[in-house]
Chain A
Amino acid sequence: MIRWLVRRTLQAAATFAIALLLLFVLMRLAPGDPLSRLVGDRDVSAAEIEQLRRRFGVDQPLLIQLQAFLAGAARGDLGVSIEHFPDRVTTLLASRLPATLLLGGVVLLLNFTVGIWLGVRQAVRRGSRFDRWTGRLALAAYAMPGFWLGLVLVAFLSLRWRLLPAAQMTDPLLPAGADGLTRALDILRHLALPALTLSLTSIALTMRHQRAAMLSVFRLDFVTAARARGLSEKRVRWGHAWRNTLVPMLTLLGLWLPVLVSGSVFVESVFNWPGLGSLAAQAIAARDYPVLLGTATLVSGAVVFAGLAADLGYALADPRVRPS
């Protein structure tokens, strides 16, 4: 088991390394000069340009740059931001990570409770009106661009009807001495709309996976056998059938991360939620390449890690898979 884990981790590291290589190539592929934006229309002398180029390391030959990038990534150093110079990219990422984790965590929680429950219900009531219409509604929500749904929700629920805050994570007018509970509630109120937007647009994914997995398990002999033992329908459904869908659902967890991350770029920027997504959006506007690259690196690393975790999860969830 340990040997397998080590081997798998090395594989993941290799994949990540290749991903880093690809990211670097991407960065150099695009025509245009990342520094031009910084310079803008100002009249800059050649010497000043040369100074800038040296500062950001773009004056070196490509191979040296690649080396520097990879070495830096291994150390955990992703360079310096152009817009927020001299802040290090890693510092920026670290400061924004908690907000995204909070948002992402809540969205995952919603998806994997409500989404799973709905998916199971759909499977149990296969072919019913509930099944068909829930499926269609979920699909319609999935077809909504996150930024659009967010804007519409903000327009009506926040700006027009003043039910929930329109932006950011906290109320800037909150008194400094406010206690923990008030602060927490304040964050929750701000969390509501972005979490709702991200959840709605992605719940179809969870529901369909769960529904399909349940349907294929229902067909298996041991489900009838479990009923024949006189176990309650609830136990048969959850303890026997659903328990066997954990493995296919783990695949979903691996798919989820890219969906979450991509969605959060739009949702966070619409709601000004101070996370990685809005950082990326701001970096786009400012043409802050190092920050964008740093975010992409972090996200890719997370995806690779999530895949590794999913594999480990398989082994734990399905005793047949455990390598001896």
Chain B
Amino acid sequence: MIGSLGGLLRRAWTHPSGRWGALALVVLALVAVAAPPLLPDPAEMPDAVLGATPPSLAHPLGTDQLNRDMLARVVVGGRISLSVAVLAVLVSLTLGAAVGLVAGYAGGWVDAILMRGVDAALAIPRLFVLLLLLVVWEHIPLGALILVIGTTGWFATSRLVRGEVLRLRHEPFVTASEALGATGWRTIARHLLPNAAGPLLVAATLGVGDVILLEAGLSFLGLGVQPPTPSWGGMVLEARPLIVTAPWTAIFPGAAIVLTVLSVNLLGDALQAALDPRGA
């Protein structure tokens, strides 16, 4: 499986846009991890009376309405947004794979019920599910938020995994090994991973982009990451009244979202193309 994934990554690297995406992501991740100690404290308000100041040498991205350094806030916000996204996607992947495996292997009415449920869940736009859950949950802790977002995003993955399991089930080598006494479970699990790893990686990568946008939207509505923890969406919300007088307070967090999501999507695209070379 590592081999096939490695091959996939190598082929994705040959894509120019994929390369840019991957590089940008690495840089972003590095900045998010390593930069905060080098930057001023995002909560520090040197001269609150001054309010928002435009970009300058001291504050490359300016300051927000409470005179907090924008660069520091954007970077720390990035840390939050990226970790939420990655962790939530991991939750979705695990749940989706589990359900998909069960549905595909068990078949029969278990499969039917599960897939009916998935169909119905897919009918409700993800945003609305989250809105309904979060509206009443005031001041949701970050961990719970990650879980909540993760549990709303596994449906498509379960379909994918189920499809793979079904396909493998009918492969002659599975029935052959079953005849030899090996449990179908083990065979499928062993062969499932290499086959599904590629599509799953693509889905996960694109999923990270989706979650970043989703979380930003939720924070913009006041439902996601709660202040004072900085988040990109939350920063745009706070910047809304200043949009004309101090546009940089809204522009930079948004631009950070665009950059990150774009990089993730470019990488996901390259991976997708590497999976199916004809489709480019």
Binding site for B on A (CB under 8 A): 14-16, 18-19, 21-23, 26-27, 29-34, 132, 136, 139-140, 142-149, 151-152, 154-156, 159-160, 212, 215, 258, 261-262, 265-266, 269, 280-281, 283-285, 287, 289, 292-293, 295-296, 299-300, 303-304, 307
Chain B nearest CB, measured from A182 CB (Å): 28
* Separation of A159 and B246 alpha carbons in the complex (Å): 13
Number of A-B contacts (CB under 8 A): 160
Specify which chain B residues have a CB less than 8 angstroms from the CB of A148 in the assembled complex: 216, 236, 250, 253-254, 257-258
Is B262's CB under 8 angstroms from A143's CB?
yes
Q: With A22-B120, A300-B123, A304-B123 given, is the CB distance from A145 to B236 under 8 Å?
A: yes
Q: With A142-B265, A151-B236, A151-B243 given, is the CB distance from A15 to B119 under 8 Å?
A: yes
Specify which chain A residues have a CB less than 8 angstroms from the CB of B240 in the assembled complex: 151
* Separation of A34 and B135 alpha carbons in the complex (Å): 8
Contact of A155 among B131, B243, B269 (CB under 8 A): B243
18 contacts between A and B (CB under 8 A): A15-B120, A19-B123, A26-B129, A30-B134, A30-B135, A30-B136, A143-B213, A143-B261, A144-B258, A145-B213, A147-B236, A148-B216, A151-B240, A156-B247, A261-B127, A266-B217, A284-B135, A299-B125
* Separation of A160 and B245 alpha carbons in the complex (Å): 10
Indicate the member of A29, A262, A269, A285 with the most B CB atoms within 10 Å: A262
Is A30's CB under 8 angstroms from B137's CB?
yes
Interface-side segment among B86-94, B180-188, B218-226: B218-226
Chain B positions 130 through 150: 1 when the CB is less than 8 Å from some CB of chain A, otherwise 0: 011111111000000000000
Q: Does B117 contact A (CB under 8 A)?
A: yes
Contact of A299 among B117, B124, B134, B138 (CB under 8 A): B124
Q: With A30-B137, A148-B250 given, is the CB distance from A215 to B217 under 8 Å?
A: no
Chain A nearest CB, measured from B116 CB (Å): 6
Is B137's CB under 8 angstroms from A32's CB?
yes
Contact of A159 among B217, B236, B244, B257 (CB under 8 A): B244
Sort A-B residue pairs by CB-CB distance and give the 9 closest, nearest first: A148-B254, A18-B120, A143-B261, A32-B136, A258-B125, A262-B127, A143-B262, A30-B136, A19-B120
Is A284's CB under 8 angstroms from B222's CB?
yes
Chain B positions 223 through 236: 1 when the CB is less than 8 Å from some CB of chain A, otherwise 0: 10000000001001
Q: Does B251 contact A (CB under 8 A)?
A: yes
How many B residues touch the partner, as a band?
35 or more
Contact of B221 among A31, A261, A284 (CB under 8 A): A284
Closest to B250 in A: A151
Is A303's CB under 8 angstroms from B125's CB?
yes
Q: Does B75 contact A (CB under 8 A)?
A: no
Contact of B266 among A139, A212, A280 (CB under 8 A): A139
* Separation of A283 and B244 alpha carbons in the complex (Å): 27
Contact of B132 among A21, A215, A258, A293 (CB under 8 A): A293
Contact of B233 among A16, A145, A295 (CB under 8 A): A145
Closest to A152 in B: B251
* Separation of A295 and B128 alpha carbons in the complex (Å): 9
Closest to A144 in B: B258
* Separation of A215 and B277 alpha carbons in the complex (Å): 13
Q: Does B42 contact A (CB under 8 A)?
A: no
Is A303's CB under 8 angstroms from B124's CB?
yes
Indicate the member of A18, A149, A287, A304 with the most B CB atoms within 10 Å: A18
Contact of A30 among B133, B213, B258 (CB under 8 A): B133
Chain B nearest CB, measured from A318 CB (Å): 21
Q: With A159-B243, A284-B131 given, is the CB distance from A143 to B265 under 8 Å?
A: yes
Specify which chain B residues have a CB less than 8 angstroms from the CB of A30 in the assembled complex: 132-137
Q: Does B209 contact A (CB under 8 A)?
A: yes
Specify which chain B residues have a CB less than 8 angstroms from the CB of A19 in the assembled complex: 120-121, 123-124
Specify which chain A residues have a CB less than 8 angstroms from the CB of B261 in the assembled complex: 142-143
Specify which chain A residues have a CB less than 8 angstroms from the CB of B262 in the assembled complex: 139-140, 143
Contact of B133 among A29, A160, A281, A304 (CB under 8 A): A29
* Separation of A274 and B216 alpha carbons in the complex (Å): 23
Specify which chain A residues have a CB less than 8 angstroms from the CB of B216 in the assembled complex: 145, 148
* Segment 17-39 of B: residues with Cβ below 8 Å from A: 17
Closest to A307 in B: B123
Is B123's CB under 8 angstroms from A16's CB?
yes
* Separation of A292 and B136 alpha carbons in the complex (Å): 11
* Separation of A156 and B125 alpha carbons in the complex (Å): 31
Is B257's CB under 8 angstroms from A289's CB?
no
Closest to A35 in B: B136
Specify which chain A residues have a CB less than 8 angstroms from the CB of B223 in the assembled complex: 284
Closest to A146 in B: B217
Specify which chain B residues have a CB less than 8 angstroms from the CB of A144 in the assembled complex: 254, 257-258
Q: Does B279 contact A (CB under 8 A)?
A: yes
Chain B nearest CB, measured from A176 CB (Å): 31
Q: Does B126 contact A (CB under 8 A)?
A: yes
Chain B nearest CB, measured from A295 CB (Å): 7
Chain B nearest CB, measured from A255 CB (Å): 10
Is B121's CB under 8 angstroms from A143's CB?
no
Specify which chain A residues have a CB less than 8 angstroms from the CB of B269 in the assembled complex: 139
Is A303's CB under 8 angstroms from B279's CB?
no
Specify which chain A residues have a CB less than 8 angstroms from the CB of B137 in the assembled complex: 30-32
Contact of A145 among B123, B128, B220, B244 (CB under 8 A): B220
Chain B positions 253 through 275: 1 when the CB is less than 8 Å from some CB of chain A, otherwise 0: 11001111110011001000000
Contact of B124 among A32, A140, A215, A300 (CB under 8 A): A300
* Separation of A147 and B218 alpha carbons in the complex (Å): 11
